[in-house]
Structure 1
Amino acid sequence: MKKIKCECGHINHEGTVLCEACGKPIEGNQHIDGNDENNVLEMRYEGSARRSKTYKRTFVDKTWAFFSSVKVGVWLIVLALLASAIGTIYPQEEFKNSVLPSSQFYEQQYGLSGKIFYQLGFHNLYSSWWYIALIALIGISLVICSIDRFVPLYRALKNQNAKRHEVFVRRQRFFSESENVSDDDRKTLINNLKKRRYKISEEDGHILAEKNRFSRWGPYVNHIGLIIILIAGILRMFDFMHTEGYVWVREGETKVVPTTEQQYYIKNEQFVYETYSREDERFQEALKNEELDVPSNFQTNAIIYKVKDEVIPGQEPELEEVTRGEIRLNEPLTFDGYSAYQSGTQLRSEYNSISFKVENGEGEELGSFDFKTNEDQRYYKLSNGYQIEIQDYYPQFEVTEEGPSSFSKYPRNPGIIFEVSGPELEGERYFYLNEDVVPLIDDPVTNVTLEDTELITASGLIIKKDFSLPFFLIGAVIFMIGVAQGLYWHHRRVWIHPKDGSLLVAGHTNKNWFGLKNEIESSIDGTSIKMVEDQQEKL
């Protein structure tokens, strides 16, 4: 590695633009940042050597230079954002409400675009290898960008001396030269800077007044926060840190809780749906233009069970209650590290029971029966030896080329074919659909009518266990600290350079030049020292 020795004696790394000790421009390197004799010095990273700008010979050097580019980092973030946006076009695999395999579901439900969505892996976006790799590349870019800039900047700021080369002072953006400045005026300037919380260091009569150096590390604190957030995002890919599942539970139904390896079950005791009252004075103004009722509460009253003993295959598990409670929007029910969130609702969308009444030809009632959609009962006994036999049941009736069929197993549009038989009746078949009972023979002896239907609600619940949230919180807090650090404080420096009876004053800041100029102006007020001029405006 080539070293460059400045006339002040300091050894600089190859690629250094400004000497880290005295600030003198290094001959032969000024083309790197546009530093020529007619320009104000380019002070980015204090003119120190960055690996990505200096070494480009080996594969490692080129890889380092590639990932240290801000443009590359921005494009990686843009690609991640685009992928995340595309992933929201159709539901992720875990949220699809269908028994069809994903390879068929997306194409059947959404056509060609759904097929492409599935084949490109967007149906399981956040756990796909290429999305994880993209997030990892963003993390690598952040780390390399930070190291590439932080290390030389830290070295340059640590090595800076109060005594600087005259060229460095003269080519600062803020500069003035005053002659015949008295010691009292010089001391007045220094004391005024101290009052403004500048830290004063002196070397052979040369003064460096500096404050808020810590603000220069704000962007790197941001990067640390972002890296922690990215690590938390990658940790979410592992089940021991994050699991999440979706389950539909109908009223009265008990189902295994997904992602718990069949150790927990959840029962939907009741679903509560409430709306805002139009008679309540508090809501009358807001509801007067609403034609439909506005919901105020979606709530599932649930019981959580745990499998008591080891389950033998084919045997119903023995359950013991863990907890019970109410699940509302943003108010989950928690148990053993898991949280159950109210996420979706299919309000009164499924049939729980359908009641029928059977009469003979003279209008005498033979009996009634309740068909339970979630039970496998095929025979119902009536009075006087009459009985009902369920011959075919279609939970969601549809007609296909092959004949009657069911689109799904959920009873949202049930079709039932049943037969009435008795002592003097060979059998009369009826068909129920859309709350209408139709005889399948001419001139039936019996008469079957619909008495009542009971509809139930299905609750969509997200079951989540997430130990990565503290990492997200820590990363977000660190990121905001970095934002405040770089946004509300500014690194300001004033150099006072005596030379042959005159006094050179120069100033530099990383942002808010107007504020620095005001501080210097107020500090030299009442002295014979000339006000600094903005040399950038002269060019």
Structure 2
Amino acid sequence: MDKIKCECGHLNPHGTIICESCGKPLGNENDDKTLLNMRYEGVARRSQTYKSNIIDKIWMFFSSVKVGIWIIVILLVASIFGTIFPQQFYIGGENPAVFYQEEYGTLGELYYQLGFHNLYSSWWYMALIAALGVSLIIASLDRAVPLYRALKKQRITRHQNFMKRQRVFGFSKITNIDEQFDVLKARLKAKKYNVREENGNLVAEKGRFSRWGPYVNHLGIILFLVGCMLRYFPGFYVDEHVWVREGEYTVVPGTNQELYIGNEQFIIEFYDPDDEIFRDSIERAEGTVVKTYQTNAVLYEADPDAPVGVVGDLEEVARSEIRVNEPLKYKGFNFYQLDYKMNELQNMSFTVENKETGERFGRLDIDLNDPEKVYDLGDGYTVTIIEYFPNYYLNSNNEPATRSSIPDNPAFIFNTVTPLTPEGERSFVGIMQNYELPGTGQAVADVDHEFKLSFIDVDMSNVTGLGVRKDLTLPLLIAGGTIFMIGLIQGSYWAHRRIWFQRMNGEVWIAGHTNKNWLTLRTDIKEVIKDTGLLEPVDQAEEKEKQDEIENQKRNQEG
């Protein structure tokens, strides 16, 4: 679009309200009473100037403060929904489809179906955060760049309409102008104003940096939002809970199977009840008091040349005794002692028994954490696991299901094939439970198996619960929060003040502007012009309010 040429010769971008150089109002040039809108120095903003294509419309949409506020409101409301019930991260190894329905009923099931159980990592929540970031960036650029250009290009000598239409304005006639201007310069400098002079005219300015407070604030928020979003990118943030059984190891979350943590031994120690120092505390606790939770942990690195899906050789890279508040640290990872479980079921052993003779055939040892599908006992005896329920319960449909993958209450549906029963016999076997199930096309009343699976042994192990944490976004979050506070302080505790002293037709015109705290500006002007013969300028906004009030009173009296 064509630029607007001012009478001073400066070319202003299309949409400029006040000339960036001399300050002449562009538009209704005959209006010398309406106060100038000095917001953003009257510069042209892209969002209010270019509206022709799709990019302009997108820019205009996201530059709107109202749009930004609505995005924040939607984010806040969504975040509230995420706190109604605990997020999936906090329910441990429980099956979320089961947990929310059992714990919270229909509302819990609806909560799960709507995806609120993983709200803060959902695509639409991330999209809202991204939209807020885009809104902040566009809104800041839309205002900060033109504002910087206008403040940089402004002249000292301003157009007379610019002076008249400032909120603080006044004029005086004095004889010794040069002498009094020297006094004004000295007093303004004593008040820490930056004084510039052009053609005998003065402009005093202080606190310009405060104008950038909101944009510094925005920069801090943007960095903070980027840090939050990076937490959902692989490798930047890990906050997981892993269970490791004694004598075993497991992959470290967030390492793409590059690191493994092993549990050589879990130790729990109690205070001696006969120790006089702790006797009173133990008696008050009415039982044993734990002294130490400790995991003798080993950290391994996997062979990088191993085929995909194969662990390969593990190389020990760190070893530590992990206790509460004494984590194992390695390459940004911290491993904390968080939980433990004593005597967790690990293996269950069964045998095939002839119900009539009591004769037993073979033995199957089932790893409850990784059971095999088929167990061949030899001599024609085979046991197949049809269904496995690590933490068995009956759901609302009275069907067997599992609450989690942890074998707290294991149960099985077996199919046992023997030389006498080649078609197989189905049975449901759990802790203190052993039921015969009908085969295909067989009625329940006709079930009469020849063999059963008898429980013969169980192995247990201690399990340690370790918290695995890694946070590469923390420096970015701290930087964003720090910059946010700097911008907040910068824009809250300082004000951008300007005072113009201009020679005009044998008079001295005074105009002042600030982005806040007008009383302080007027006080500064009053102290600077004291005993110089210059009249104190008036606050035209206050004068207009008084005049309007008087006219309203007159109309009320006449009515």
In the superposition, the TM-score normalised over structure 2's length comes to 0.69
Report how far residue 247 of structure 1 moved: 1.6
Give CA-to-partner distance per residue, 1:25-53, whole Å, 9 cap, x none.
222499xxxxx654432210011111222
Q: Does the aligned pair in 2 maintain the 1:263–1:307 contact within 8 Å?
A: yes
Q: Measure the CA separation in 2 of the matches of 1:173 and 1:121.
A: 55
Q: Which residue of 2 aligns with 1:439?
A: none
| Code of the aligned partner of 1:504 | W
Q: Which residue of 1 aligns with 2:533?
A: 528
Q: Measure the CA separation in 2 of the matches of 1:127 and 1:482.
A: 29
Distance 1:290 1:201, change over 3 A: farther
Write out aligned runs for 1:50-61 (5 A).
Answer: 50-61=45-56
Q: Which residue of 2 aligns with 1:43?
A: 38
Q: Measure the CA separation in 1 of the matches of 2:86 and 2:288.
A: 28
Give CA-to-partner distance per residue, 1:384-420, whole Å, 9 cap, x none.
xxxxx999999767678989997556465789xxxxx
Q: Kindly indicate whether residue 484 of structure 2 is the aligned counterpart of residue 490 of structure 1.
A: no
Q: Which residue of 2 aligns with 1:157?
A: 151
| Code of the aligned partner of 2:343 | Y
Q: Measure the CA separation in 2 of the matches of 1:536 and 1:93.
A: 58
| Code of the aligned partner of 1:17 | I
Give CA-to-partner distance per residue, 1:448-469, whole Å, 9 cap, x none.
xxxxx999575252343x3333
Q: Measure the CA separation in 2 of the matches of 1:147 and 1:314.
A: 48
Q: Measure the CA separation in 2 of the matches of 1:292 and 1:24.
A: 85
Q: Measure the CA separation in 2 of the matches of 1:474 and 1:128.
A: 26
Secondary structure at the aligned position of 1:375 is classed as strand
Q: Which residue of 2 aligns with 1:117?
A: 111
Q: Measure the CA separation in 2 of the matches of 1:16 and 1:255.
A: 65
Report how far residue 245 of structure 1 moved: 3.3
Q: Kindly indicate whether residue 509 of structure 2 is the aligned counterpart of residue 504 of structure 1.
A: yes
Q: Which residue of 1 aligns with 2:167?
A: 173
Root-mean-square deviation (CA), in Å?
A: 4.5
- Which residue, out of 266, 272, 292, partners 1:270? 266
Q: Does the aligned pair in 2 maintain the 1:23–1:165 contact within 8 Å?
A: yes
Q: Does the aligned pair in 1 maintain the 2:347–2:460 contact within 8 Å?
A: no
- Which residue, out of 195, 198, 220, partners 2:193? 198
| Code of the aligned partner of 1:270 | F
Report how far residue 315 of structure 1 moved: 8.9
Report how far residue 495 of structure 1 moved: 0.1
Distance 1:38 1:459, change over 3 A: same
Write out aligned runs for 1:102-113 (5 A).
Answer: 102-103=96-97, 106-113=100-107
Report how far residue 208 of structure 1 moved: 0.9
Write out aligned runs for 1:67-86 (5 A).
Answer: 67-86=62-81
Secondary structure at the aligned position of 1:494 is classed as strand
- Name structure 2 gaps, 5 residues minimum: 352-362, 369-388, 412-429, 433-458, 545-559
Q: Measure the CA separation in 1 of the matches of 2:270 and 2:172.
A: 79
| Code of the aligned partner of 2:124 | W
Q: Which residue of 2 aligns with 1:375?
A: 347
Q: Kindly indicate whether residue 24 of structure 2 is the aligned counterpart of residue 24 of structure 1.
A: yes
Give CA-to-partner distance per residue, 1:493-521, whole Å, 9 cap, x none.
11001123321112111122233223222
Q: Which residue of 2 aligns with 1:13?
A: 13
Distance 1:89 1:14, change over 3 A: same
| Code of the aligned partner of 2:17 | V
Q: Measure the CA separation in 2 of the matches of 1:314 and 1:25.
A: 72
Q: Measure the CA separation in 1 of the matches of 2:167 and 2:288.
A: 66
Matched pairs, number: 466
Q: Measure the CA separation in 2 of the matches of 1:41 and 1:313.
A: 70
Q: Which residue of 2 aligns with 1:363?
A: none
Give CA-to-partner distance per residue, 1:300-336, whole Å, 9 cap, x none.
5533233468768999865443223355666642223
Secondary structure at the aligned position of 1:505 is classed as strand
| Code of the aligned partner of 1:177 | F
Secondary structure at the aligned position of 1:61 is classed as helix
Q: Which residue of 2 aligns with 1:444?
A: none
Write out aligned runs for 1:248-287 (5 A).
Answer: 248-249=243-244, 254-268=249-263, 269-270=265-266
Q: Which residue of 2 aligns with 1:340?
A: 335
Secondary structure at the aligned position of 2:56 is classed as helix
Q: Which residue of 2 aligns with 1:468?
A: 473
Q: Kindly indicate whether residue 202 of structure 2 is the aligned counterpart of residue 215 of structure 1.
A: no
Q: Does the aligned pair in 2 maintain the 1:251–1:271 contact within 8 Å?
A: no
Secondary structure at the aligned position of 2:127 is classed as helix
Q: Does the aligned pair in 1 maintain the 2:32–2:164 contact within 8 Å?
A: no
Percentage of pairs with the same residue: 45
Distance 1:497 1:116, change over 3 A: same
User: Greater shift after overlay, 148-157 or 73-82?
Assistant: 73-82
In the superposition, the TM-score normalised over structure 1's length comes to 0.72
- Name structure 1 gaps, 5 residues minimum: 31-35, 353-372, 380-388, 416-430, 434-452
Q: Measure the CA separation in 2 of the matches of 1:244 and 1:19.
A: 55
